[in-house]
């Protein structure tokens, strides 16, 4: 006896999750013989369903919003939860854009002949089954399902309980898209229960699920990492630095420092600490400070910074490690490139760090020696983004080292196998 | 107070392992600014030390062999443990070959301009600190240290207690090579204690160690996977298949089936099950069976196979899942390509599988749909090997899906970060 994954009311969570995972594995296997055209058909049909079901989506979202208000969710959370017509437009545009991307699956690279006569290449193939565990923003349901499907994977979507009705309604649009293309519903399914234990069952299904991607706050990520028996692709902190070198072009230094902090505040690729070479601090910092203050940024500096910038408060040791995600910036004056890189090594989160300089060798050393997912010369940290990098769309930004590092697009949702073309070769 | 990692006698295993891991992390950081030439110097000096210290190596190995005999190790284990002059020659040749490989570190691929004007590329960089946990064969000490160092990683080498003196002596050759090139000893260090708890400490050092590679029997791999808090790159089973399609060239079918089973028996890329399309079974199987029997291979078949090949015994259900690593072959007659792929899906280990056919579309389907690390057309499974694939050398064959799949060479010991070249760009 086992529960059906299509049951709307889940009574036995363990049996339900087992069925969900098993069905996803079967769907992933059947995707191996599905052509690009059919996957794109499902994506475009999902976009159409989102457009047709705007009323149902609004009604479901209103239920979640009412429940959230009753439960006392704060305004920021309610805003993230809200499914406005513009946000539905955004999801439709996103799915349509994913359909238009090149299919990564089946591409063979590096095919070359070996001395034995065999030809060896590497074929890009789907990862298999991907579990997505996320909070709040319901658009993840559509974005993640679209990217996983495009890359030939099945996915299991487990959103936050505060968005359950919205995610359910979005899941029905995906189901309609899959059905229109003749693909099984288990190819991308929203978990139909808000039971907390469902997450544990998902994280333990190592035989059926190949990768877990958590998206949300640090507490969620840490719980997933601690509990999972399955590889996790995750994003932790974005404590990003800009270092203004002694040979920085002053205009570029000013523009990049201000943009990296103020362009958008609550994002992981915003600058959180500005490092400045002592040789140019007196020249550069006061003007940058004025511009930052004019943008409402609170400044916290080392003693030398405070001497140059009277509006700056004294930074504490904790400031160097803090990802503010808000209108605060830490500033430190350092003794050249080595001190800057040592600071980044000690306090940084290996997400994105930039140097502003016209000095060739120092730029090369920074590129090579700073151990972060994105390392930049003369550009704003805000460019660390799948769309800006040309990945088409991103499922997230990985701060891990293995498999995928930095913005993760379709390629990170695939793997490569070796293919060998022979003419009867045997080994001697 | 903490133990020094150079202490020959380890009294506090926890403190010793903590020091080992911390020192390895520091060594990995310092490797970021070490040039190719210096790493190659260390490799060639290690090769020279192996040649100079043949007497010391032989004496250390004799200690292990004597202890192993006294402990009643079987002949196969003692043979694997033995460090013959030829095996030392092999290690010297191996390290020298690794020194001659192209340096993967610092290579930038896919550098291209984006609409914003930034140029984005991907730079190959070391993984960091790699822990290698292995059994028996002492050559792993040298092979793994050489590959890790070439790729710019620090490594911690923990071999089996039965090879402890041999590994210690080999570690001294590596230390001599590192010292000759001015690199810290912690760049590649053999763990100086045989305490079993040392492995647990290594597997728990998630802040200091980036990857664990276990090499050995299934029990070792499973222990490592169960205990590790660090990503593991592993090799489980090699239950490899050859499928003889209805459109197989008879001579190729015969040659590949016989080579894949008999070229070498105890290896992970040897064929363990032969699948034959019913349409050609009567034509192909009797001759292949004669050749296999002449090579001392015991045959276990499905009922139809047994009818065609009287020498074959009846295969049990368990035979289809078994990696014999010896002179036994399971044979099954199947109903065409779909049945063959379903058998491989159900019983295979996703290591290496081959089809023999002249039929274009069936070859393409097999390549695309068989979900194994290596998929071959008209070639012996025995080619699934880093050297045959042109990787230069391999640290192992991964049956994982993430990061590295199939034979793992230098590339699998590195990761890629994004590099951004700007001219002052900011985001609008």
Residue B392: the pLDDT is: 85
In sequence order, what E strands does B309-384 have?
313-314, 328-334, 352-356, 374-379
Please indicate whether, in this complex, the C-beta atoms of A402 and B415 are within 8 angstroms of each other: yes
Of B106, B374, B407, the CB nearest to A368: B106
Does residue A218 surpass a pLDDT of 90? no
Share of chain B above pLDDT 90, in %: 92
Q: Quote the CA–CA distance of B377 and A150 in Å, as a whole number.
A: 27
Query: What mean pLDDT do residues B235-246 have?
Result: 94
Please indicate whether, in this complex, the C-beta atoms of B378 and A424 are within 8 angstroms of each other: yes
Please indicate whether, in this complex, the C-beta atoms of A424 and B371 are within 8 angstroms of each other: no
Query: What mean pLDDT do residues A299-311 have?
Result: 97
Residue B78: the pLDDT is: 94
Query: What mean pLDDT do residues A74-79 have?
Result: 92
Q: Quote the CA–CA distance of A356 and A259 in Å, as a whole number.
A: 13
Q: How does residue A1 score in pLDDT terms, banded at 50, 70 and 90?
A: very low
The two three-digit tokens of residue A253, written as one number: 């230094």
Please indicate whether, in this complex, the C-beta atoms of B427 and A255 are within 8 angstroms of each other: no
B123-147 residue pLDDT tens? 999 999 999 999 978 999 999 999 9
- Chain B hits for A421, CB-CB cut-off 8 Å, are 376-379
Distance from CA of A384 to the nearest CA of B (A): 9
Bridge partners of residue B379, in order along the sequence: A425
- What's the distance, CA A242 to chain centroid? 21
Residue B270: the pLDDT is: 97
Does residue A4 surpass a pLDDT of 50? no
Q: Quote the CA–CA distance of B26 and B208 in Å, as a whole number.
A: 9
Q: Which residues of B229-268 are buried (b: 16+ CB within 10 A; e: fewer)?
A: ebbbbbbbbbbbbbbbbbbbbeebbbbbbbbbbbbeeeeb
Does residue B50 surpass a pLDDT of 50? yes
Compute the C-alpha angle B9/B13/B16, nearest 5°.
75
Query: What mean pLDDT do residues B372-400 have?
Result: 94
Residue B372 touches chain A, beta carbons under 8 Å: yes
Instruction: Show which of residues 321-360 on chain A sit within 8 Å of chain B, judged by CB atoms.
Output: 345, 354
HEC per residue, B5-68: CCCCCCCCHHHHHHHHHHHHHHHHHHHCCCCHHHHHHHHHHHHHHHHHCHHHHHHHHHHHHHHH
Instruction: Show which of residues 266-325 on chain A sit within 8 Å of chain B, judged by CB atoms.
Output: none
Q: What is the ipTM of this complex?
A: 0.93
Q: How many CB atoms neighbour CB A5 within 10 A?
A: 22
Query: What mean pLDDT do residues B252-257 have?
Result: 98
Residue A419: the pLDDT is: 98
Q: How does residue A155 score in pLDDT terms, banded at 50, 70 and 90?
A: very high
Residue A2: the pLDDT is: 40
Query: What mean pLDDT do residues A77-94 have?
Result: 95
Residue A232: the pLDDT is: 93
- Residue B215 near residue B134, CB atoms below 8 Å: yes
Of B210, B374, B423, the CB nearest to A420: B374
Q: How does residue B384 score in pLDDT terms, banded at 50, 70 and 90?
A: very high
Instruction: Show which of residues 227-256 on chain B sit within 8 Å of chain A, judged by CB atoms.
Output: 231, 249, 251-252, 255-256
Please indicate whether, in this complex, the C-beta atoms of B375 and A210 are within 8 angstroms of each other: no
CB-based contacts of A117: which residues, under 8 Å, 6+ apart?
A: A422, A423, A425
- Chain B hits for A250, CB-CB cut-off 8 Å, are none
Q: Quote the CA–CA distance of B357 and B339 in Å, as a whole number.
A: 15
Residue B7: the pLDDT is: 44
Please indicate whether, in this complex, the C-beta atoms of A418 and B256 are within 8 angstroms of each other: no
Distance from CA of B341 to the nearest CA of A (A): 11
Residue B162: the pLDDT is: 94
Of B127, B345, B420, the CB nearest to A379: B420
Distance from CA of A126 to the nearest CA of B (A): 9
In this structure, of A60-69, B13-22, B133-142, the range with the lowest mean pLDDT score is B133-142
Residue A416 touches chain B, beta carbons under 8 Å: yes
The residue written with tokens 């590295």 in the block is B404
Q: Give, for B166, the enclosing helix (H) or strand (E).
A: helix B164-180
Q: Which residues of B154-182 are buried (b: 16+ CB within 10 A; e: fewer)?
A: bbbbbbbbbbbbbbbbbbbbbbbbbeebe
Higher pLDDT, B2 or A282: A282
Residue A285: the pLDDT is: 98
Q: Quote the CA–CA distance of A216 and B356 in Å, as a whole number.
A: 48
Q: How does residue A8 score in pLDDT terms, banded at 50, 70 and 90?
A: low
Please indicate whether, in this complex, the C-beta atoms of A426 and B114 are within 8 angstroms of each other: no
Q: How does residue B255 score in pLDDT terms, banded at 50, 70 and 90?
A: very high
Residue B367: the pLDDT is: 97
Residue A199: the pLDDT is: 96
Chosen from A112, A240, A269, A383 to mutate, greatest number of chain B CBs within 10 A? A383
Strands B352-356 and B374-379: parallel
Does residue B314 surpass a pLDDT of 70? yes
Q: How does residue B9 score in pLDDT terms, banded at 50, 70 and 90?
A: confident
- What's the distance, CA B168 to chain centroid? 22
- Chain B hits for A368, CB-CB cut-off 8 Å, are 32-33, 106, 123, 125
Please indicate whether, in this complex, the C-beta atoms of B424 and A371 are within 8 angstroms of each other: no
Query: What mean pLDDT do residues A368-389 have?
Result: 97
Residue B8: the pLDDT is: 54
Task: Give the N- to C-terminal CA distance of chain B in Å, as an integer.
Answer: 53
Higher pLDDT, B207 or B1: B207
A107-130 residue pLDDT tens? 999 999 999 999 999 999 999 999
Does residue A3 surpass a pLDDT of 50? no
Distance from CA of B14 to the nearest CA of A (A): 22
Mean pLDDT of chain A: 95
- Residue A333 near residue A305, CB atoms below 8 Å: yes
Helix, coil or strand: residue B193: coil
HEC per residue, chain A: CCCCCCCCCCCCHHHHHHHHHHHHHHHHHHHCCCCHHHHHHHHHHHHHHHHHCHHHHHHHHHHHHHHHHHCCCCHHHHHHHCCCHHHHHHHHHHHHHHHHCCCCCCCEEEEEECCCCCEEEEEEEECCEEEEEECCCCHHHHHHHHHHHHCCCEEEEECCHHHHHHHHHHHHHHHHHHHHCCCCHHHEEECCCCCCHHHHHHHHCCCCCCEEEEECCHHHHHHHHHHCCCCECCCCCCCEEEEECCCCCHHHHHHHHHHHHHCCCCCCCCEEEEEEEHHHHHHHHHHHHHHHHHCCCEEEECHHHHHHCCCCEECCHHHHHCCCCCCEEEEEEECHHHHHHHHHHHHCCCCEEEEECCCHHHHHHHHHHCCCCEEEEEECHHHCCCCCCCCCCCCEEECCCCCCCEEECHHHHEEEEEEEEEEEECCC
Mean pLDDT of chain B: 95
B402-418 residue pLDDT tens? 999 999 999 999 999 99
The residue written with tokens 């040979």 in the block is A247
Q: How does residue B1 score in pLDDT terms, banded at 50, 70 and 90?
A: very low
* Prediction pTM value: 0.92
The nearest alpha carbon in chain B to A381 belongs to: B426
| Chains A & B: contacts with CB separation below 8 Å | 217
Of B371, B377, B419, the CB nearest to A421: B377
């Amino acid at each position: 006896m086992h529960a059906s994954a299509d049951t709307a009311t889940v009574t036995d969570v363990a049996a339900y999750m087992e069925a969900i995972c098993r069905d996803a594995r079967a769907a992933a296997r059947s995707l191996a013989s599905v052509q690009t055209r059919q996957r794109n058909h499902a994506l475009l049909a999902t976009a159409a369903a989102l457009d047709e079901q705007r009323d149902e989506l609004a009604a479901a979202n209103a239920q979640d919003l009412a429940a959230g208000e009753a439960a006392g969710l704060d305004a920021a959370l309610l805003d993230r939860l809200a499914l406005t017509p513009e946000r539905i437009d955004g999801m439709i545009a996103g799915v349509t854009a994913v359909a238009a991307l090149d299919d990564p699956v089946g591409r063979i690279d590096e095919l070359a002949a070996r001395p034995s006569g065999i030809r060896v290449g590497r074929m890009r193939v789907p990862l298999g089954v991907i579990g997505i565990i996320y909070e709040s923003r319901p658009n993840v349901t559509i974005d993640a399902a679209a990217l996983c499907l495009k890359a030939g994977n099945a996915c299991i979507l487990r959103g936050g309980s505060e968005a359950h009705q919205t995610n359910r309604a979005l899941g029905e649009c995906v189901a309609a898209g899959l059905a229109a293309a003749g693909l099984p519903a288990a190819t991308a399914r929203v978990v139909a229960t808000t039971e907390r234990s469902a997450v544990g069952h998902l994280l333990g299904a190592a035989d059926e699920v190949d990768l877990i991607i958590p998206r949300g706050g640090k507490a969620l990520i840490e719980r997933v990492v601690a509990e999972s028996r399955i590889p996790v692709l995750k994003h932790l902190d974005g404590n990003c630095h800009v270092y203004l070198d002694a040979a920085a072009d002053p205009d570029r230094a000013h523009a990049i420092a201000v943009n990296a902090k103020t362009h958008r505040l609550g994002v992981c690729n915003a600058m959180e600490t500005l490092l400045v070479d002592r040789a140019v601090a007196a020249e550069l910092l006061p003007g940058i400070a004025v511009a930052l203050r004019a943008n409402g940024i609170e400044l916290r500096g080392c003693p030398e910074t405070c001497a140059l910038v009277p509006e700056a408060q004294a930074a504490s040791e904790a400031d160097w490690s803090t990802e503010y995600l808000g209108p605060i910036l830490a500033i430190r004056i350092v003794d050249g490139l080595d001190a800057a890189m040592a600071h980044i090594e000690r306090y940084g989160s290996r997400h994105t760090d930039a140097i502003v300089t016209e000095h060739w060798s120092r730029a090369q050393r920074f590129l090579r020696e700073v151990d972060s997912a994105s390392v930049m010369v003369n550009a704003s940290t805000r460019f660390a983004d799948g769309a800006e990098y040309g990945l088409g769309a991103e499922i997230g930004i990985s701060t891990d080292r293995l498999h995928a590092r930095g913005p993760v697009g379709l390629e990170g949702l695939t793997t490569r196998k070796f293919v060998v073309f022979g003419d009867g070769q045997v080994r001697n």
